[in-house]
Each structure stands twice: as C-alpha cells, then as structure tokens.
Structure 1
Amino acid sequence: MTNSFDVKIGINPISWFNDDLPSLGRETPIEVALTEGREIGYQGFELGSKFPREPHTLREVLSRHQLDLVSGWYSGRLADRSAEEEIAALGPHLTLLEQGGAKVMVYGEVDGSIQGERNVPLFKRPRFYTDEQWRRYADRLNTVARYTLSHGVRLAYHHHMGAYVETPEDVDRLMALTSDDVGLLFDSGHTAFGASKTTFSGATPLDMLTRHIARVCHVHFKDVRPEIVEIARNRQWSFLDAVINGAFTVPGDGAIEFAPLIRQLRDHGYRGWLVVEAEQDPAVAPSLAYAQSGYRHLRALVDRATAQLEAA
C-alpha cells in the first residue's frame, strides 16, 4: 500500500450539455456549468463542445473559475487511417491539451461507431474479426501513443458502447496487444454496460479495473441503472436511447459499488483525476442536483480511503 492518495475530482460538462445529443442541455451556457461545478467543489473540467479551442482563451475561462483542464475527448479514426494521418489530425487538440496543462488525452475510436446514431441498435457496432485486424490497429495505436507521450500527454484509451472496443473482453485483447505507452481510461459505467453477460454483475467493473490497474491513467466514474440496461439490451435500443431513458447516472445513484474501486486505485498508487461523467437528460435529472450528489458520494469515499491510508 502506498503512503499517499493523490487524486482530484473533476467532472465532464455532459451533466449540463451533451455533445452526442445536442438537444440535451442545448440552452445551458458554459458559464453556468463552470460556476455550478466550482461551487460544488469540483477541481477541474473536461472539455466539451462549448469550450474555447484557443489555448490562451481556454486558460482564461478556466482560471476565472479557479478550475483546471482535466482532459478532452479526441475522436480517433485509427481503424481506417494510418498512424501518420492520425498524428497530423490530432495536432491542434494535442496542443490545446498540452498548453492547457492536461496530462492525458481521452482517445475514443469513432470510425464506424454507432454511439451517436439514434436509430441504430447497439448490436450493430463495428468489430475487428481477425487477429490481423486487431494487430494492425494495436500497432497504429502504439505509434500514436508514443507521439502524444513525447509531448507530455498520455493517450487514455476510452472503451465505449457502440465502438470497436466495447466489452471487457475487447479491453483485455487491446491491452494485451499494445505497449505501456497506451494508457487505459477506466470507465465504470461503460464497463458494466458493456459486459457480455445478459444480466448486470456488480463485480464486473472491479474485476476489469483489477486486471488492468497498471495501465489505468484516467478514470470516468458513472453509475448504471441495471434495469434500464437490461431493457436496452432486450429491446435492442441504440446507445442514445439508453442514455435518454436513464441507463447512466452519477456515482451513488445506481448499482455500482465505488468504494472497492477507489480502494483498488489507492492501493495501486493511482495519481490523477476521478471524473464524474454521467450522460443524462438534464430536464429529467437536474444538472446541479446530480452533479452535487455525485461529488458528495465520491468526496466521502476518497476522504475515507485517505484516512484509512494515513491510519495504517
């Protein structure tokens, strides 16, 4: 066990406005999200579509609210293009993160992804079918990860519903084929939802975190409502329909136990961000109330884990 637990609690603006489905929270200004987030106690924000994309302006906006830049989603297409093409494409985003002080880049593969398709059921997501397809993708990812790391920003691979790497088994395979330069973004909600079992297993997120703890460089914490996940599977909903109907929620409001996840991170010496990222309709789940609830739940667990460490 390590003698410190150096983590910060941040949030993704998706609690206020949703980039995949802009109709959710379209009317909410960025200043509302930043003001409320800071008042709650969050120390930083991930990027969203309403954030400035010029480094100096972004730093000004965040510093005005005494907030740090946590990271930012990058829509990658390595399934279809070369590492060199990807490196050229991600240049402006990498510069924004680097100059903003972020240490990780959230990499999400969107080639063929159906995560933003309202009328496409989840089972139609893209897949790698051969060993060669997996190896080629992993090799490209290794190259891109080495490049971002040379700029002081580690690639944090985001396994995601509706994409090539969705299930815990997909994550296992990708981690086995890639180097340590490729970091893993552990997402509790997508892990639970993406499990291949037909019924929710509360142990699934902890099992996957334990297997890949050495590669985890970023954490998204969201909870799941298993009854909604089950309906989404049985009725062949799209990812966005599952979101709209409440598959996800903030930590402490669903079925995932976060205390064991936090203890695992603590005991392995994780240092970085714990980010609340819960896709919901703010008209049904009011942004301020749910962001506050998620923060309080995580804050209490982190404080308890820290106190246990200091007392040991």
Structure 2
Amino acid sequence: MKAKLGMSPIAWWNDDLVELSDDVSLEECLRQSRSAGFTGMEMGRRFPSDPEVMLPILKEADVTLCGGWFSGTLVNEELAANKDRIEPMIELFRAVGAPCIVYGEVGRSIQGDRSAPLAQKARLDDDEMKAYARKLTEFGEWCAERGMPLSYHHHMAAVVETEDELDAFMNHSGAGIPLLLDVGHLVFGGGDAMRAIDKYHARINHVHVKDLRLDVINGLDRTKQSFLDAVALGAFTVPGDGSLDFEPLVKRLAEHGYEGWFVVEAEQDPKANPPLKMAEVGYKELMRIMTAAGYTVETQGFPRG
C-alpha cells in the first residue's frame, strides 16, 4: 500500500482571513513544507497560473502540485458558467500533473461570511439536493473527460455539511463525482468519519487530514459565531496537535485499499502556530500512523524523468 503526504498553503496564507497570513513567499512555503518531509502542496493564491512559470518552481522545491480548490457555484448557477471558469484550471492542472481539482461549493454558502452564524447555513430540500447532486455528477464527468477528475469537498457552512447531507448527496450523485473525505469538517459537523469511510470508500479519491481542537468547537455558540470565527479562535490544527485520533481512520482506509494523497489542511494563526513547526509535528504523527496502517509513504516529490 502506497500513500503520499501533502500540505495546503493555508497554514501560511489564509485567503479569507488576511490577519491569519504570514508574509512568506511561495518558494519559502514550499521549502518549509518539503523540509518537514511533505512531497506535495495544494494550490494557493500565490501560485502562478502559467504552467511554464509554475513547473520550474515546483521542480526546484522537489514538490508536486497535489490538488487545489475550485469555488463552484452549481447549486445556484448553470453548468456553462462553471465550465467556463474551471477550463483554465483544468489545463493548468493537466500541464503540471496534478491528481485532481477540489470542488468546493460556495453557492449559498456562508463559509466566507464572518457575519453569518453557523446556524444560518443554507439547507437543501430533497428535490434540491437530488437536482444538485445530479448536476455535480454531470460536471464531474465533463471534467474527467478533459483529463482532470474532481474531488467533492463537503464543508462546514456549505450546502453539504452534515453527515445526513453527505449521505443525501452521495445517494443522488454518481461515480462521476468522486469524494474528498475531510475528517475535520465531517466531525465538526457532527458526523462519524469511520462510518463515512465504510460507506463511501469506493468513491474517495483524496483525503484531508484536518485535526480539530474540540474544546474550541464545543465552546462555540453556533447561533452567534461563524465558521471564520471558529477558524480565528483556533478550531483547526495539524494531526498530533489536536483532539482527533487519525490512526484507526487511516487503518480503515488502508483496509479498503485507498492509495493516494493525505493532505494536511490546517488553517490557523501562523504567528502563534509557526507553519514549519506545525508541518514537522504533522509529518511526524502521520508517518507514525501510516507505518502502523501498513502504508509505504512515497518520498519523491517532483516527478523525475
């Protein structure tokens, strides 16, 4: 069994909360994560959009682009508009050899609105969810036909947040839209990550190992505080620094035959939680867990040859 370990640049620069960002260059971000042991990095705002510019940077850092977020709006906009916006990203990701594009639904979402309490997030009725899931399946199939699979990211404060919502989405969608399992978001939303692995392992093509500080989450007033409030308060961190036990989850993924990326996505204050130190903590813990689960972790970053 093989696994790859990556990070998200959100540990260095946060796109939604500027105050949770360090003045660190892309090159330094890649250098730090690679020095900690990670061989992949998901795309962030400081990445160039030209593959001829990006590839030398990745090669110099010995890092692979292991994914990246697309802000989808299929819940309230047409397929055509989303196809037009994702087409350049597909071309870029194909050119640099990325494994997938992470589809994050921002339509009707309050994840980026600090004034909107968590309890006010939009909920789809059965007919809306069925139509949405079918549209995502069609969109995923269209992207895959162009050589770039999607990975659907269930997310706090979005239309697919809870385990029940994930179940409804998965039941009404098809294999054309694979799943990104984000353990932290699922547990934050009250879900059972082990149960989700057992039910949906055949469609999981990407995994985010986002740890939680449950004391922060349990202390939230969801009628008054937003998702971004939770982030600012330190709800998220790296494996080995939080409350979740990833070892049984990773073992279960291995039992189901998952081989692919495990990506640390841990947005928090980089001044209080230096990203290099956090990367080292996360990598050490993940290597312990991967070894226990029977994985061989790939050590090569940028593809050679």
Please report the TM-score for the alignment, with normalisation by the length of structure 2: 0.93
Residues 105 and 154 in structure 1, CA contact (< 8 A), matched pair in contact too = yes
Stretch moving more, 205-214 or 229-238? 229-238
Please say if 1:227 is aligned against 2:222: no
Aligned residues: 296
For 2:105, the aligned partner's letter is E
Where do 1:1-312 residues align within 5 Å? 5-129=1-125, 131-195=126-190, 204-233=192-221, 236-306=224-294
Distance 2:82 2:221 in 1: 33
For 1:176, the aligned partner's letter is N
Displacement of 1:307 in angstroms is 6.8
Displacement of 1:108 in angstroms is 0.2
Distance 2:213 2:46 in 1: 28
Displacement of 1:211 in angstroms is 1.7
Distance 2:169 2:200 in 1: 11
Distance 1:270 1:61 in 2: 29
3-state SS in 2 of match to 1:106: strand
Displacement of 1:234 in angstroms is 5.1
Residues 166 and 194 in structure 1, CA contact (< 8 A), matched pair in contact too = yes
Displacement of 1:160 in angstroms is 0.6
Distance 2:273 2:78 in 1: 41
3-state SS in 2 of match to 1:283: coil
For 1:54, the aligned partner's letter is D
For 1:40, the aligned partner's letter is A
Residues 27 and 61 in structure 2, CA contact (< 8 A), matched pair in contact too = no
Residues 115 and 239 in structure 1, CA contact (< 8 A), matched pair in contact too = yes
Deviations 1:225-274 (A, max 9, x none): 11111112456311111011111111122221111111111111112100
3-state SS in 2 of match to 1:72: strand
3-state SS in 2 of match to 1:160: coil
Contiguous gaps of at least 5 residues in structure 2: 297-305
Deviations 1:180-210 (A, max 9, x none): 11111000110110117xxxxxxx2222222
CA RMSD after TM alignment? 1.5
Residues 189 and 221 in structure 1, CA contact (< 8 A), matched pair in contact too = yes
Distance 1:233 1:260 in 2: 30
Please report the TM-score for the alignment, with normalisation by the length of structure 1: 0.91
Distance 1:90 1:171 in 2: 23
Q: Which runs of 4+ in 1 moved over 2 A?
A: 233-236
Deviations 1:266-291 (A, max 9, x none): 11111210000011111111111111
Residues 3 and 295 in structure 2, CA contact (< 8 A), matched pair in contact too = no
Distance 2:274 2:220 in 1: 23
Distance 2:163 2:277 in 1: 31
Identity of aligned residues (%): 39
